[in-house]
Structure 1
Amino acid sequence: MLRRALLLAGAATATLVLAMTATGAQAATLLSDDFEDGNATGWSTNGGSWSVTTDGSGVYRQGGTSSDARALAGTSSWTDYAMQARVKPTAFNGGNRFAAVLARVQSSTSYYYLALRSNNTVELKRLDGGSSTTLDTASVTVSAGTWYTLRLEVAGSSLRGYVNGALLTEASDTRWSSGRVGLATFYTSANFDDVQVTTGAVTPPSSNPPSSSPPTSEPPAQPNVADGWASVNAWGQNGTSGGAGGSTVTVTSASAFLSAIAQPGPLTVRVQGMLTLPGPMHDVTSDKTIIGVGSGSGLTGGGLNIGLPIDDDITAPPANAVHNVIVRNLNFRGWPDDAINVQMFSHHIWIDHNTWTTGTDGGVDVKRGSSYVTISYNHADGTDKNMLLGHDDDNGAQDIGRLKVSYHHNWFDGTEQRNPRVRFGDQVHVYNNHYNDTGNYGVASTENAGVIVEGNSFENVEDPYHLGEGSSGDGRLVARDNCLVNSGSGQTGGSVSPVSYAYTLQPCAQVKATVTAQAGAGRITG
């Protein structure tokens, strides 16, 4: 069993421990402590009541709930590293308390920290002389008595915070470039275990590729949590957190992947490499995050089905509808039906930063009463039937009043049609996407759908948006603030109510540069 490897400056007996990263690069383990040796040698405390005890195995416990408390280790010369620990809050003394991991610690009142709070948030913060600044925040279910894995990565000015393997917070800050590590609680008792501090595999994100038309102002930050319709509190689900709160598994084979996505309960599934699936589509259960590792991971030969089996007699969302699913950073190739299919009242689905190329049918289809879906920062490269919303003109019983989907910052790159094609959905929000060289048409609103087409960039698109399509009757479409470069004027008609969520609209002249630099797999950390 790995006990403790602690490298302190000037310690003649210290031994360097090497670990292999997922990519095969060597990473130095600066500190590893599972507290199985029964002591906390190397840790210094400030406040609280710290002791090594057992919770199934050895843990470092902070038992007080009447103040803030810290335990620090390491050396001030540590610069770029990842600080990770398992954290189990055991009691919160109030409604906004936390347990945290610390990085680049200067003193007991100055450091960066990733805090798991009792108000169901995780916060990436800076404490400077006792004054705290929130750098980023995200929603996550937090329960006393539950283990969570917190990971705080610091590399140059880049700060990233993970919960159970999912990247939820991200920021840039230059206040400190080195420092110690630590554990902390604020009016909270907690157990800490399996502390790991590693360096060598943590690097700042690469710069975006150049664009021929750079934005005139700072592009919007890419979301670390679901926004748009997937963020709305509805149908018994408040926002979309995927597998947060569950364990994390990395899969390298099709059989392991299919087993993981079929498991009940919250789970983060990290896909490493291109996995060849049997066709056509494979069911995903509720409360899952499926995320690719690096830029070259994904699925070929088969796709994902997020939804119950088709039943035309069900006309209202069932209690067991699939919900709370995140799909990110995957490459989809050679699918025989749909790359991603969302159906049968599935809700709170976030499909983000994926790339799909050639397949038989849709890239992402949403149908049969599904709702509260956000499709963002994806790269559709030459797809024909790209994104269908609402499968049939005769399906109003399931679809009317539903099919609420946000499409934003997607790159429709030489796609043919259905970008999206909408039946019944209201309000469908298509904003800040980039379309280039579209073959047939961009957006179609049919069967009384309500579609808002806003702040998009159309380049070499003869028919950017219109009403009706094929045998489907007209819908309603409102277009505003779009850029039409060497493109048609589009067709609008009717009115659409505003969406009920907050969002920031980027000027359409800046959208092309932002989207081509940021959309698709490999632009986020998996």
Structure 2
Amino acid sequence: MSPPNPVRRTRRRGLLTALAAAAAAAALVLGMTTGASAATLLSDDFEDGNSSGWTTNGGSWSVATDGSRVLRQSSTSSDARALAGTASWTDYAVQARVKPISFNGSNRFVAVLARVRSSTSYYYLALRSNNTVELKKLVGGSSTTLDTASVGVSAGSFYTLRLEVAGTTLRGYVNGALLTDASDSQWSSGRVGVATFYTSASFDDVAVTTGGGTEPTPTATPTTEPTNPPQPNAADGWASVSAWGQNGTSGGAGGSTVTVTTAAAFLSAIAQSGPRIIQVQGMLTLPGPMHDVTSDKTIVGLGSGSGLTGGGLNIGLPIDDDITAPPADAVHNVIVRNLNFRGWPDDAINVQMFSHHVWIDHNTWTTGTDGGVDIKRGSSYVTVSYNHADGTDKNMLLGHDDDNGAQDTGRLKVSYHHNWFDDTNQRNPRVRFGDQVHVYNNYYNDTGNYGVASTENAGVIVEGNAFVNVDDPFHLGEASSGPGRIVARSNCFTNSGTGEAGGSVSAVPYSYTLLPCSQVQSTVSAQAGAGRI
């Protein structure tokens, strides 16, 4: 639990593009280890206005000329396929952004295809109108379901589908979450494709990658994008940086997937050793206060209404003030996504005792007794992104005590980006010791006490945020804590103060895309929170 805090008020290329574009596309995968090298087999975003290299079978295919530059299949009267690549491709991942436009009947689908041997023989990952995703194979026109999972599907929305084939292992992802996996030896090689079944649809940003190649060197220079960037489907920011023996943050990738519908099943799953993907279905009522999560876990809610109430998550070992360096058994490699947190009696999420490589993304929390997300006691390499904090008081604490410099100095490296701090009161975040803490492209509205506080020589970059009706956007020092350092740039202030900055902070070692602050309010309010991945 955090201590009391006194109130203070004062795109683009065509087919077979270069490696860098494919590496960025590959990084959208939740289940792949961030930072792993990848070679490009194919990449097509159709910005060149044509579908050169693709062959079609059935349907009505064209590159849209309405400005969207997508490959569109406009017929709903039959099944249709578009294929590319070569028959000799073996182990790879095929990924595409897919938007079903109209379903003609029930249980229709859009799909990505791998190891295509012919128009009637291939593996495919199908997103169906009955709110399921299926990993299947088609053999001479006869289909077999290899694995299936529940997922919300609606016409008019884009979904990122990814199908990985490696040896006999098949894995299917939707919006970065590993939902289906199977083992099958029917085919070892083949082309790639996209398909529809009595469905009109748009396909974009097709990327096929495989191992090998050279990893791009990260740069601290942001690129400013004039339009809303796509939401990440892999850990970025500090959680993507390789350190402390961990190569980025991949969570439970490679482990089994379990769907839990009871508190008992959930608590058992998060306590298991080894990698595991834990899908939470519905709101689960936990006993309080917090429950330990072990390393190599992905905890992801299904749909928009799943989550936890009555208790929170503890990502970290028991407190030991005598430990001043990361222990070998520190909890690491944990992803928490798409959950609603309500009525927690201590913290909704607590990260402590040198826990590292943690990604907290697209969650929503409302009022609870203490912090929404507290990160402390030497923890580091954490990214907190696209979350919606709705009316919380002590929202996000980074560093719990002024006397904890032995554990915290040089650590507490955290990225906070694209979060919606909605009528929160304080600690958005409140930082002790952390350096470099990166607070960028967040939306603050109607903040009660203050936005960001940098104390105890912390180094905080406050960049590209939108402050609306915030008297005190950011300042140095807080209560009895001594001042830290803040570098502030490219922020927007509407009916707000202008903040207090001072000192210097080193650049972060990772690349990132900075949205102009004028677009942050509309973008973040539309994208942040559970149910929006």
TM-score range, shorter chain: 0.5 to 0.7
The 1:241/1:444 distance shift into structure 2, 3 A limit, reads: same
Match 1:451 to one of 454, 457, 460: 460
Which residue of structure 1 aligns with residue 432 of structure 2? 423
Aligned-partner Cα distance in 2 for 1:226–1:456: 20
The Cα shift of 1:159 comes to 4.4
The Cα shift of 1:234 comes to 0.5
Which residue of structure 2 aligns with residue 327 of structure 1? 336
Match 1:358 to one of 367, 374, 378: 367
The Cα shift of 1:200 comes to 10
Give the 3-state SS of the residue equivalent to 1:237 in structure 2.
coil
Aligned-partner Cα distance in 2 for 1:500–1:341: 25
Aligned-partner Cα distance in 2 for 1:313–1:522: 41
**Do the aligned partners of 1:149 and 1:165 also contact (CA within 8 Å) in 2?**
no
1:161 corresponds to 2:162: yes
The Cα shift of 1:244 comes to 0.4
Q: Deviations over 1:211-264 (max 9, x none)?
A: xxxx99531100000000000011111111101001100000000000000000
**Do the aligned partners of 2:400 and 2:432 also contact (CA within 8 Å) in 1?**
yes
**Superposition pairs for residues 333-482 of structure 1, below 5 Å?**
333-482=342-491
**Superposition pairs for residues 289-304 of structure 1, below 5 Å?**
289-304=298-313
Give the 3-state SS of the residue equivalent to 2:318 in structure 1.
coil
Which residue of structure 2 aligns with residue 179 of structure 1? none
**Do the aligned partners of 2:251 and 2:296 also contact (CA within 8 Å) in 1?**
yes
Aligned-partner Cα distance in 2 for 1:235–1:431: 25
**Superposition pairs for residues 30-45 of structure 1, below 5 Å?**
none
The 1:255/1:459 distance shift into structure 2, 3 A limit, reads: same
Match 2:497 to one of 485, 488, 492: 488
Letter in 2 for 1:261: I
The 1:266/1:165 distance shift into structure 2, 3 A limit, reads: farther
Which residue of structure 2 aligns with residue 100 of structure 1? none
The Cα shift of 1:514 comes to 0.4
Which residue of structure 2 aligns with residue 10 of structure 1? none
The 1:365/1:248 distance shift into structure 2, 3 A limit, reads: same
Aligned-partner Cα distance in 2 for 1:345–1:436: 32
Give the 3-state SS of the residue equivalent to 1:511 in structure 2.
helix
Q: Which of 1 and 2 has greater Rg?
A: 1
**Superposition pairs for residues 21-420 of structure 1, below 5 Å?**
105-106=81-82, 109=85, 117=92, 122-124=93-95, 158-161=159-162, 167=174, 185-186=188-189, 217-420=226-429
Aligned-partner Cα distance in 2 for 1:515–1:423: 26
The 1:429/1:419 distance shift into structure 2, 3 A limit, reads: same
Aligned-partner Cα distance in 2 for 1:259–1:200: 42
The 1:315/1:203 distance shift into structure 2, 3 A limit, reads: farther
The 1:334/1:245 distance shift into structure 2, 3 A limit, reads: same
The Cα shift of 1:162 comes to 6.0
Match 1:503 to one of 498, 512, 531: 512
The Cα shift of 1:185 comes to 4.0
The Cα shift of 1:436 comes to 0.2
Q: Deviations over 1:141-185 (max 9, x none)?
A: xxxxxxx9899x998875412675654659xxxxxxxxxxx9764
Give the 3-state SS of the residue equivalent to 1:398 in structure 2.
helix
Q: Deviations over 1:38-67 (max 9, x none)?
A: xxxxxxxxxxxxxxxxxxxxxxxxxxxxxx
Give the 3-state SS of the residue equivalent to 1:233 in structure 2.
coil
Letter in 2 for 1:414: D
Give the 3-state SS of the residue equivalent to 2:514 in structure 1.
coil
Give the 3-state SS of the residue equivalent to 1:416 in structure 2.
coil
Aligned-partner Cα distance in 2 for 1:202–1:382: 41
Letter in 1 for 2:95: L
The 1:201/1:107 distance shift into structure 2, 3 A limit, reads: closer
Per the normalisation by structure 1, the TM-score is 0.65
Identity of aligned residues (%): 72
Mean CA deviation greater in 232-241 or 417-426: 232-241
Q: Deviations over 1:88-113 (max 9, x none)?
A: xxxxxxxxxxxxxxx964457589x9
Unaligned runs of 5+ in 1: 1-67, 69-74, 80-102, 131-147, 171-181, 189-196, 206-214
The Cα shift of 1:401 comes to 0.4
**Do the aligned partners of 2:446 and 2:469 also contact (CA within 8 Å) in 1?**
yes
Which residue of structure 2 aligns with residue 520 of structure 1? 529
Aligned-partner Cα distance in 1 for 2:530–2:399: 26
The 1:216/1:227 distance shift into structure 2, 3 A limit, reads: closer
Which residue of structure 2 aligns with residue 6 of structure 1? none
**Do the aligned partners of 1:158 and 1:204 also contact (CA within 8 Å) in 2?**
no
**Do the aligned partners of 2:299 and 2:335 also contact (CA within 8 Å) in 1?**
yes
Give the 3-state SS of the residue equivalent to 1:238 in structure 2.
coil
Aligned-partner Cα distance in 2 for 1:390–1:203: 48
The 1:284/1:108 distance shift into structure 2, 3 A limit, reads: same
**Do the aligned partners of 1:456 and 1:481 also contact (CA within 8 Å) in 2?**
yes
Per the normalisation by structure 2, the TM-score is 0.64
Which of the pair has the greater relative contact order for Cα pairs under 8 Å at 6+ separation? 2
**Do the aligned partners of 1:168 and 1:225 also contact (CA within 8 Å) in 2?**
no
The 1:309/1:167 distance shift into structure 2, 3 A limit, reads: farther
Give the 3-state SS of the residue equivalent to 1:124 in structure 2.
strand
Aligned-partner Cα distance in 2 for 1:104–1:315: 60
Aligned-partner Cα distance in 1 for 2:508–2:83: 46
Q: Deviations over 1:381-418 (max 9, x none)?
A: 00000000000000000000000000000000000000
**Do the aligned partners of 1:479 and 1:492 also contact (CA within 8 Å) in 2?**
yes
The 1:358/1:202 distance shift into structure 2, 3 A limit, reads: farther
Letter in 2 for 1:389: L
Aligned-partner Cα distance in 2 for 1:279–1:198: 47
The 1:150/1:427 distance shift into structure 2, 3 A limit, reads: farther
Unaligned runs of 5+ in 2: 1-40, 42-55, 61-78, 97-111, 117-145, 165-170, 178-184, 204-223
